[in-house]
Structure 1
């Protein structure tokens, strides 16, 4: 059964609460189910190094991971010498020692969930047999974490037979020893930016070990609590002084949610057990990407806005071909924003989970393809304005106010909910980042970053990543929302439109 929220009741409560009227407030979010099981152990935690209380963002992410959300990465490595189990374990130990956010767990303290150091060092690392990477990844991405004791990350090593084709054939002769590495990191402890960064660090460590070069114990990055929750408190105080602005903010918050267009056009797939499936990653042509970026630059627009426009325009084409004809299509999307931009007193990379989704609802005309670059400019202005005023923080504050009175994060995620956003777009691509550049002894010859989100509230996702100086596009989808055929059609439309608008 689907569960819906009585928006009218929640809207009234949120407005009254912000304006200072006397109404019952929702209770403090309860501890996640797994943390409750270990509450009796809190008295024996005197030797634990407590870092900071988990904020609402971390508590919510714990519940979402428990309900099926995951972030995983697969790397195909080609090396001049074999990467054995012992060698990989040594590299992972170095990684563990250098990155403090890989040494944390989440456990209760005096009735509240806290981020703390693991009570003892432990790696969740195994070598696995078999030659089917997709099969191994399917089982690996949903395997649980030990929230209370850690570690909140895990790795699996798969050796490849000698005759396994190399994704980059020209390096096979010099780097004949091939293997796959699967990595998964609990999203409440570290976000995608840290995952991308730690995989590069691990590859560098492996390259040093294969060369016989010492690996330093120098710490990299700094564990920080979230600043987004603090900014939300400031925004709430400001809205209390402006009732008209509050009403408009609540309208905008609710207006970003609707039944995804693909589900409206094609109906709901009849599946017993929903999963997240992934289409084959696509490496985009650098020359075309340069033309695309050049057009963005001439407009003063970001490639992030232009790719959002690509996704929107392709979505319009797909639903129009399915018979859904409208003058204007309202397209709702979610854009993870790195809130490290709000941290001003950290010289190195702030470690932890610092990503907050920002909703965007865009009125998209049916002839958007004929006026694509004007549409990009309009969209860029809207997105820049939201980032300037930190709208992602305001939206999260409004979301918290709209929750039912007896809300807990665990209960909110317990039952299946109807998706209310068309898609989510994750952009971690930068032309200035030579991610996974070739080393002296090891090359990353293939890479993919995955999200599992079939219990989340969007139909599909689009991810843009950097891979050895090239952009890599990925499209995962929830089988409860759309079929593989529809998802493939969306990807093909994005790619076709990408080439069309880059030429014109």
Structure 2
């Protein structure tokens, strides 16, 4: 929305036209989510057995070792750098077929691509020597907490993001049963959001914080996945006078519990995926392999008969 408005403003100025300064949306604070946090915390404290069980589950997540570190080990060498991979452009025709398959299986595009990402990661570590019947993969997903607000009639401004953990097993043969695995992903993803799971996770993490202060802060999550593309959103970059020539996905990974991020976004008439990684977590060579595997998995999934 912000980038779109910048393009409209610049084009209006270059046309010597009046700039539309009408109100766009409304600001909301995080009071709705804070109230939900307090309610969830009180509910958990009233159910000691469930609280104990959930705290143990979160503790395992917050102290786990990612598959990449387990299989490939952390690269050694100069001080770590944050690098960005070459963007992978998703073929437009294949993208439409992939979306149609997602719709046919009643899953979101987001869940479909999470499946692509998880299978590619699994195959990378399997090739590196970690051979198992299934692989426990923990990914982090920024979600929009505006969904928990009521009486919303326009765009809600201010920061309303919250990380959501998706931890589940990926069978070694998930590539051969791709859509079954994606349906499982989609079901767990939707259920967790519906029951305000991300808010509950945040409450549990806050409770665990004193217990984890003595634990060295390490990489926990295998990957982060963020998808800002949607067919309902007009792609940016094609202004009347102002044309954008490059678009890159950037984020900081310093002192975070993840060191590898995959982003998908629309730019002009195409959609692209891109990886950002820390050299202390994964080498450039393995990032290239992972990126290529994701593209291959995406293309093969589209071309395979279901």
Query: TM-score normalised to the size of structure 2?
Result: 0.93
Greater radius of gyration (CA): 1
Of residues 265, 285, 289, the one that matches 1:485 is 285
In 2: Cα distance, 1:331 partner to 1:467 partner: 30
Question: Which of 188, 210, 223 lines up with 2:14 in the alignment?
Answer: 210
CA contact (8 A) 1:454 1:479 kept: no
**CA offset at residue 252 of structure 1?**
2.9
Q: Deviations over 1:432-476 (max 9, x none)?
A: 211215232122233222112132111311111122343221110
Query: Which of 244, 260, 270 is residue 470 of structure 1 equivalent to?
Result: 270
- Residue number in structure 2 paired with 1:324: 130
Does the aligned pair in 2 maintain the 1:231–1:393 contact within 8 Å? yes
Give the alignment partner of residue 445 of structure 1, picking from 221, 235, 245.
Answer: 245
RMSD: 1.9
| Structure 1 residues 417 and 498: CA distance shift in structure 2, 3 A | same
Q: RCO higher in 1 or 2 (8 Å CA, sep ≥ 6)?
A: 2
Q: Which residue of structure 2 aligns with residue 145 of structure 1?
A: none
CA 1:244–1:282: 2 relative to 1, 3 Å: same
Which residues in structure 2 correspond to 1:394-409 (within 5 Å)? 394-404=200-210
Match of 2:224 in 1: 424
1:278 paired residue number = 84
Query: Secondary structure of 1:334's partner?
Result: strand
Relative to total residues, which structure has the larger strand share, 1 or 2?
A: 1
For structure 1, the residue ranges without an aligned partner over 5 or more in a row are: 1-196
Cα distance in 2 for partners of 1:490, 1:373 equals 20
Write the mapping of 1:58-457 to structure 2, written as runs, cut at 5 A. 197-226=1-30, 227-257=32-62, 258-404=64-210, 417-436=217-236, 438-457=238-257
Following the alignment from structure 2 to structure 1, what is the Cα–Cα distance between the partners of residues 256 and 268?
Answer: 31
Q: How far off its partner does 1:244 sit?
A: 2.8
- Post-superposition CA distance 1:259-294 (Å, at most 9, x none): 111111111112442221100122211111111111
- In 2, the alpha carbon distance for the partners of 1:382 and 1:217 equals 42
Q: Deviations over 1:131-179 (max 9, x none)?
A: xxxxxxxxxxxxxxxxxxxxxxxxxxxxxxxxxxxxxxxxxxxxxxxxx
Partner secondary structure for residue 443 of structure 1? coil
Aligned residues: 302
Instruction: Please say which of residues 210-219 and 456-465 is displaced more in the overlay.
Output: 210-219
| TM-score where L is the length of structure 1 | 0.57
Query: Where in structure 2 are there 5+ consecutive unaligned residues?
Result: none
